[in-house]
Structure 1
Amino acid sequence: MLKRLQEIIKSRQAEGYIDVVVLVLCAVMVLALAIRILPVFVAKQQLDTFATELVREAEVTGRVGSETDRRSAVLREKTGLDPNISWSMSGRIQLNEEVTVTLTLRRDIGLFGGFGSFPVTLQAQATGKSEVYWK
């Protein structure tokens, strides 16, 4: 019996199991990291669309004001994002004048909540020209 136990200890058949466990652990960590980072890419895409739609509203209405505020409220509800919005100008925008909107949003990337987490600032910018002639 003691001789059989010594043979089992000397054999290296268990090394494969350890390699598989380490490989599975690494794969799970990569998957967890992807699950935490992918929503940030989705938020960036939504932020770009948010900026484009806001500047389009300013182009069509020819002003930055109540119309763009209403549109931003609709977009916030629709996307679930609450970015800081800054305009290059406010009020009426004359025909062919450029207007720029800049949106900023902070998101945290990390695996375990507060541990190993760091903030990332997402920024989207869109520029357009007014299509309204104000007399």
Structure 2
Amino acid sequence: MLKIIKNERGEGYIDVAVLVLCAMLVIALAVSVLPVFITKNKLDTYVVELCREAEIAGCVGSTLRAQVLSEKTGLNPDISWSKTGKIQLNEEFTVTATMQTNLGLFGRFGSFPITLKAQVSGKSEVYWK
């Protein structure tokens, strides 16, 4: 009986099964975490677009462009501006967008909310008389 237990035939099958199980767990973790990085990238692009629009228009706090971007990207972040109204040439302002998203590890199990934040600074390109 002891000789049968010490026999190492078939050990490779167990090693392969464990390796495949570990590989599937890593792939499942990547599939659940990568959407958060994609959302962060979209949020960064969202804020850069808002900042560029404010630089060209010379006024901040406009929600029209934010509505268009929300429709295109599917994001609905909380937007805050460092200033409001018209801004003079070379006057600096900051746009900050925050949103909460779930980092869902393996469905509802292990899921918890995280806050994503994107912040961009810009300068007005408009001279107001």
TM-score (norm. length: structure 1)? 0.86
Correspondence for 2:74 = 80
Contact 2:29–2:106, Cα closer than 8 Å, also in 1: no
What's the secondary structure of 1:108's corresponding residue?
Answer: strand
Contact 2:100 2:115 in 1 (8 A): yes
For residue 94 of structure 1, give the secondary structure of its aligned residue in structure 2.
Answer: coil
Q: Which amino acid aligns with 1:52?
A: V
8 Å contact from structure 2 (residues 105, 111) kept in 1: yes
The TM-score with structure 2 as length reference comes to: 0.89
After TM superposition, which residue ranges in structure 1, 4 or more long, deviate above 2 angstroms?
5-12, 110-114
For 2:63, what is the secondary structure of its paired residue? helix
Structure 2 gaps, min length 5: none
CA distance in 1, matches of 2:85, 2:111: 40
Q: RMSD of aligned C-alpha atoms? A: 1.9
Aligned to 2:123: 129
Say which of 9, 29, 34 aligns to 1:33.
29
Q: Does 1:19 find its partner at 2:15?
A: yes
Moved more, 82-91 or 107-116: 107-116
The residue matched to 1:76 in structure 2 has which SS?
helix
C-alpha separation in 2, matches of 1:45 and 1:76: 14
Mark the structure with the bigger radius of gyration.
Answer: 1
Partner-residue secondary structure (3-state), 2:122: strand
Alignment of 1:112 with 2:106, yes or no, is yes
Using the alignment, how far apart are the partners of 1:7 and 1:129 within structure 2?
Answer: 80
